[in-house]
Structure 1
Amino acid sequence: MAADVMSYRDLIVERLIARNEKEHALHDTIFANQKLVQKVITLQNKEKQLEVAVKTAQLQNETLSQAAEYAKAQGSPEHQQRVAELDRRIHDLNEERAEMYKTQSENAQRLVHMNEQLRKVTETEKRDSAEINKLTASVKQLGTKCDLQVEQLREKDAAIQILQDELAAIQLEITTIEERNKKLEKENAQLLQRWLDKMNQEAEKMNEATEFYESFLEQARNVGQTIRKTSTGKWVMRPSSSTERSKSDRRARAATVVLPTAPIKKMTVHDGEIFCIKASSAGNMFATGGSDKKLKVYDAKSGNVTMTLGGSLQSITSVCFNPTDELVLGSSTDNSTRIWQLSTQRIRHTLTGHIGKVFAAQFTADSKRVVSGSHDRTLKVWDLQRGYCIRTIFTFSSCNDLTLADVEGQTLVSGHLDNNIRLWDTRTGNGIKELTGVHSGQVTSVSVSPGGDTLLTNSRDNTLKLIDLRMYDIVATFQAPTYRNGANWSRSCFSPDGSYIAAGSSDGTLHIWNQLTRNLEKTIKEHRGVMCGVSWSPMGDYLYTAETNKNVCIYNTAFTV
């Protein structure tokens, strides 16, 4: 602080020295001006003397003229010589007078020039005097400010000392709190371990019961019987009815799909735009989400709304059922993902941590984890048993959609805004492969074939690509003159048997390609707006389509004899 004060004083001294130099710089000018004035006065005196001499010469000239005239009148040689001499002197005096006039003119011109210089010097001196007065006042103000700042520095020194004392006290308190926190973390780890041990014991008991029940069911299937629970709580076997066997046969046949010709039902379901649609794992339900912040669940056959799930703060961008259809999730543009328990229709988890809109999320096969992708350029893996994020993967570009390449959820595939597709190891967070040059527009959806060996991608370049996940080669391209991808979240899908690929266009036309022949097999135009997604029931009996303009269509694709 002392150094700052000294530097400020040095600045003032430098300015005073500069002022003095500026003032002394005018001394030479003033001295020269005084010499010029003295010289002017001398020239003026000389001019007066010359004027007197001129008058005297004029008088002499007149006298000589008179003498010359008189001499002419006399006509003697002496007089003529005298006249000639007088004429010569008159001529010399005339020349001297002309020279004096010339000198007088030059002196007058020099006098005018010197007066102009004197005027300029006077004006400069006035300006310099005003600047000096201004600088003097500024120096006084700066001196006052300097004194004030010195006083403020003293006050701040005292305040800093007080803050340092408070900081020392706070650091001591933080140290105490950290020690207490470490102790609590240790106790929490012990409690968590005890809880995990207890849950593992319960899980082992449940696994034993499940294994016993599955073996019991296997025995029942082998003898053509079914398991029923009696009123006493015991499980007994009874022969399977023909109705149950026929239902099982129909499910087996439904794995082979047929292409639809027209929807069996068309309905308006949301109060705002629809952004996503998805069939359940068992095929008995499907769900939609949209800008009205609601996730709606429907009966697969009738299309009737069975439940409306709220709680989202903004639009729902994707929906997904877990493998047992006990849970359904919805990602949202409020930067979070919510999971509802279907039996209670209540939110079970709210996964927050992204700083951008979440556009895709999916359960793993064991329903213990969820992976989500966001426009904040990250993917997150969530542990549902602990309820928090266990891994964050930075993807270099905003994520539009994601899918799991294996049922364990170890390999994750993501489609991005920068037109690229990336594969990730969710256990380590490391990238496995980046596929560039597949599309020339941003990727809007990614989905794995039922066999798990190929990847289907959809893009805003109006093409769908089939990629071999073993060699990472493009094995097929699907496109059509009428197909236009109309949304950044437009999802395509495989049929359950992997034979067909379905996608919706911006003009509301459903396109279905044959996966084996690569030909466009069917186009159906039932929607009027941009189609945001298609979803095929895992049983193969229904195909669901949705457009942003609130409409959903249900198509029957079950094989019938």
Structure 2
Amino acid sequence: MAELSFRDTILLNLREKHIRQQQIEKYISSYNELSSAYSLLSLKYATKQNLNPQNGEGISIEQSAAERQLKALTDILSKLQGSNNLLEEKVKEHETTIDELTKSNEALTKENNTFKIVIESNDIMLRNQEEDLLNERAAMKLLSDDYIEVSLRATMLNEELSRSRAEYFAIVEQFTNLKLKEADRMNAEVDIEFERQNLKKIANIHEAISNSPKIDLLNSSVHSACSFEMIAEDERNQIPMGSLGGFDVLMSECVSKTTCGDAFEILDLRWDHTGDALYIASGNKAVFKQLFKSERLFPCASFNKAKKAVNRIDLCEDKGLLLGASNDFCIYVWNTSNQTCRSTFTGHQQDVFSAKFFDDNKKLISGGRDKLVKVWDLNQQQIIRNFTPGTTCNDLIDFPDMNSCFLSGHQNKKLYLWDDRTSDSQAVSSYEFEDKIRSLSAVPCSGEIVCEIADDTLTRIDPRYMTEKRSYSAEQYKSLHTLTKCCISPNGNYLATGSSNGNIFIWNLDSSKMEKVLSCGKNGHDKPVISVAWHPNGNYLASGDAKGNICIWR
């Protein structure tokens, strides 16, 4: 049976009480009727007694019967009166209960009305929410239609992008092939010119030999005092490779390619004076030393302690010291013999981009992002001078042609000349370029330097007079790295630097003519070339790229 609600239970109780009240009213009606009958019988009895006082026996019998009847009625009446009293008490109780139930019913009615109001309010909210849901569904459908349309457009654009990429790669491949052909053509012209110069030198040698007086070595009187090595005619015609009387070798091919461990990008390269070892500054918090044998590099040692990338390195071989400028705001000096860190110079507030030995290796100079150029005492390990160019210093170079002077290149496009002997913290002189300076390289035995500029040019400068001598550029030469490092051949004949497409460009330092393009490819670089270093003998070139690869060219 289903459970009744509270309201239904109250109504059922009220019905049952109504039925009982009707029964009570019937009892009361019966009681009233019996009372009337009793009164009537009593009246009749009194009347008969008054009318027949002589007939004693008959009256006595009738009286006895009437009395018995009256007594029975009296008993019934007493019982009915007791039942009536009980019923009246129950009626009062029921009335009290009915009043309480009525009050409860009124409270429930009020509560029910409240619930009705709440339900009506909820119904209104539900209808509103249903309307909102319908509106949202309609909006979602519109969005879905828009999404489908956008997806179709995106698909069409992706297809168009794929076609454009294919066309772009085809154009890039054609452009690369054309540039390779152009480089091959230029290299062929350079080789022809190189061969012509060799033939001219050979002809000059033959002419000098033919014009010189002939000596009979067998009969000469000097034969007994001197000994000579007889050289065959074909050997006299050969021109030895390497540095010979100011002659540098022009590179043409990559003979080895190695990856410097986890070096990340190669930021600086430095040969020792013998050319038997190459020092490598990397973006992996270390400087690596590799031995150079049989045209290949072999790992030898590493110099650790820097907490971030080492940007520039310098060697002091007479003291066996290696210098490194790091992005952890410090400058480190290591012993090259045992790779231990001899000293750490702290004082810069931001990245140190360059550091060099200075003043016959008794001092250090450094500069970086904190817009200060500092001079340090190497032995006492303390700051001597602070120069304030007010702009980031990208590179430094010693200038021995002027005592106690050095040069710095900056991001404000200026080259500054500093004199350590002056008390003033300002530069002695300066020269402004068209764009910021990336690196500096000294021209051997000339008192001049080459500045690599961010506008993809290189400029030869005489710092004594701050005058521009020559400019070097090429249409396909582009360099994007902030600290790209150029280099000059040992005898000052050629200038080399790397580009962002992996090529290496070599110019004639005196004529500004681009002599050679060492092309990227399978045996070259496939990432931007950041640093290059010419071998001390002039017959090899080392280059490092942004992927940690080092190539040896000859």
Q: TM-score range by the shorter chain?
A: 0.5 to 0.7
Which position in structure 2 is the counterpart of 1:257? 248
The answer to which of 497-506 and 251-260 deviates more is: 251-260
User: For residues 316 and 266 of structure 1, what CA distance do their matches in structure 2 show?
Assistant: 22
Amino acid at match of 2:247: T
Structure 1 contact 251–539 (Cα < 8 Å) conserved: yes
Which position in structure 2 is the counterpart of 1:418? 412
Match of 1:300 among 284, 292, 298: 292
Structure 1 contact 340–346 (Cα < 8 Å) conserved: yes
1:81-480 to 2 correspondence within 5 Å? 253=244, 256-271=247-262, 272-301=264-293, 302-324=296-318, 326-364=320-358, 366-406=360-400, 410-428=404-422, 429-436=425-432, 438=433, 440-480=434-474
Given the superposition, is the C-alpha separation of residues 442 and 262 from structure 1 closer, same or farther in structure 2, using an over 3 Å criterion? Answer: same
Structure 1 contact 508–531 (Cα < 8 Å) conserved: yes
TM-fit CA distance, 1:491: 0.7
User: For residues 494 and 371 of structure 2, what CA distance do their matches in structure 1 show?
Assistant: 32
TM-fit CA distance, 1:377: 0.6
Which position in structure 2 is the counterpart of 1:115? none
Structure 1 contact 478–513 (Cα < 8 Å) conserved: yes
Structure 1 contact 494–500 (Cα < 8 Å) conserved: yes
Match of 2:500 among 485, 506, 509: 506
User: For residues 288 and 343 of structure 1, what CA distance do their matches in structure 2 show?
Assistant: 16
User: For residues 474 and 441 of structure 1, what CA distance do their matches in structure 2 show?
Assistant: 15
TM-fit CA distance, 1:552: 0.6
User: For residues 246 and 533 of structure 2, what CA distance do their matches in structure 1 show?
Assistant: 15
TM-fit CA distance, 1:292: 1.2
Given the superposition, is the C-alpha separation of residues 267 and 510 from structure 1 closer, same or farther in structure 2, using an over 3 Å criterion? Answer: same
Match of 1:494 among 488, 510, 533: 488
Which deviations, in whole Å up to 9, do the C-alpha atoms of 1:102-133 show, x marking residues without a partner?
A: xxxxxxxxxxxxxxxxxxxxxxxxxxxxxxxx
Structure 1 contact 414–421 (Cα < 8 Å) conserved: yes
Match of 2:543 among 538, 542, 545: 545
Structure ranking higher on relative contact order (CA contacts 8 Å, 6+ apart): 2
TM-fit CA distance, 1:286: 1.5
TM-fit CA distance, 1:250: 8.8
User: For residues 269 and 514 of structure 2, what CA distance do their matches in structure 1 show?
Assistant: 23
Which position in structure 1 is the counterpart of 2:553? 555
Which deviations, in whole Å up to 9, do the C-alpha atoms of 1:387-436 show, x marking residues without a partner?
A: 11111111111000110111786111111011111111122244111101
User: For residues 523 and 357 of structure 1, what CA distance do their matches in structure 2 show?
Assistant: 33
Q: What SS does the corresponding residue of 2:261 show, helix, strand or coil? A: coil
Which deviations, in whole Å up to 9, do the C-alpha atoms of 1:254-290 show, x marking residues without a partner?
A: 8621111112211110312222222223432221122
Given the superposition, is the C-alpha separation of residues 254 and 538 from structure 1 closer, same or farther in structure 2, using an over 3 Å criterion? Answer: farther
How high is the TM-score relative to the length of structure 2? 0.53
Given the superposition, is the C-alpha separation of residues 342 and 409 from structure 1 closer, same or farther in structure 2, using an over 3 Å criterion? Answer: farther
Which position in structure 1 is the counterpart of 2:220? none
TM-fit CA distance, 1:323: 4.1
Amino acid at match of 2:486: S
The answer to which of 273-282 and 287-296 deviates more is: 273-282
Given the superposition, is the C-alpha separation of residues 524 and 499 from structure 1 closer, same or farther in structure 2, using an over 3 Å criterion? Answer: same
User: For residues 445 and 274 of structure 1, what CA distance do their matches in structure 2 show?
Assistant: 15
Given the superposition, is the C-alpha separation of residues 477 and 363 from structure 1 closer, same or farther in structure 2, using an over 3 Å criterion? Answer: same
Amino acid at match of 1:352: T
Q: What SS does the corresponding residue of 2:333 show, helix, strand or coil? A: strand
TM-fit CA distance, 1:347: 0.2
Unaligned runs of 5+ in 2: 1-228, 230-239
Which deviations, in whole Å up to 9, do the C-alpha atoms of 1:192-222 show, x marking residues without a partner?
A: xxxxxxxxxxxxxxxxxxxxxxxxxxxxxxx
Q: What SS does the corresponding residue of 1:253 show, helix, strand or coil? A: coil
Q: What SS does the corresponding residue of 2:254 show, helix, strand or coil? A: coil
Which position in structure 1 is the counterpart of 2:145? none
Q: What SS does the corresponding residue of 1:481 show, helix, strand or coil? A: coil
TM-fit CA distance, 1:454: 1.4
Match of 1:482 among 451, 464, 476: 476
Amino acid at match of 1:267: T
User: For residues 407 and 538 of structure 1, what CA distance do their matches in structure 2 show?
Assistant: 21
User: For residues 323 and 251 of structure 1, what CA distance do their matches in structure 2 show?
Assistant: 23
Number of residue pairs matched by the alignment: 307
User: For residues 538 and 254 of structure 1, what CA distance do their matches in structure 2 show?
Assistant: 14
TM-fit CA distance, 1:297: 0.8
Q: What SS does the corresponding residue of 2:267 show, helix, strand or coil? A: strand
TM-fit CA distance, 1:251: 8.2
User: For residues 336 and 543 of structure 2, what CA distance do their matches in structure 1 show?
Assistant: 22
Structure 1 contact 423–433 (Cα < 8 Å) conserved: yes
User: For residues 365 and 354 of structure 1, what CA distance do their matches in structure 2 show?
Assistant: 21
Amino acid at match of 1:424: W
Amino acid at match of 1:441: D
Given the superposition, is the C-alpha separation of residues 305 and 409 from structure 1 closer, same or farther in structure 2, using an over 3 Å criterion? Answer: farther
Which position in structure 1 is the counterpart of 2:160? none
TM-fit CA distance, 1:476: 0.8
Given the superposition, is the C-alpha separation of residues 363 and 409 from structure 1 closer, same or farther in structure 2, using an over 3 Å criterion? Answer: farther
Given the superposition, is the C-alpha separation of residues 350 and 254 from structure 1 closer, same or farther in structure 2, using an over 3 Å criterion? Answer: farther
Structure 2 contact 243–538 (Cα < 8 Å) conserved: no
Unaligned runs of 5+ in 1: 1-241, 243-248, 557-561
CA RMSD of aligned residues (A): 2.0
Amino acid at match of 2:547: N
Amino acid at match of 1:461: D
Structure 1 contact 510–523 (Cα < 8 Å) conserved: yes
Which deviations, in whole Å up to 9, do the C-alpha atoms of 1:492-515 show, x marking residues without a partner?
A: 111111111001001110000001
Give the ranges of 4+ consecutive aligned residues of structure 1 lying more than 3 Å apart after TM superposition: 249-255
User: For residues 297 and 384 of structure 1, what CA distance do their matches in structure 2 show?
Assistant: 23
How high is the TM-score relative to the length of structure 1? 0.52
Percentage of pairs with the same residue: 28
Structure 1 contact 281–322 (Cα < 8 Å) conserved: no
Structure 2 contact 417–463 (Cα < 8 Å) conserved: no
User: For residues 521 and 254 of structure 1, what CA distance do their matches in structure 2 show?
Assistant: 20
Given the superposition, is the C-alpha separation of residues 288 and 325 from structure 1 closer, same or farther in structure 2, using an over 3 Å criterion? Answer: farther
User: For residues 252 and 511 of structure 1, what CA distance do their matches in structure 2 show?
Assistant: 20
User: For residues 464 and 544 of structure 2, what CA distance do their matches in structure 1 show?
Assistant: 32
User: For residues 274 and 339 of structure 1, what CA distance do their matches in structure 2 show?
Assistant: 19
Amino acid at match of 2:538: G
Rg larger in structure: 2
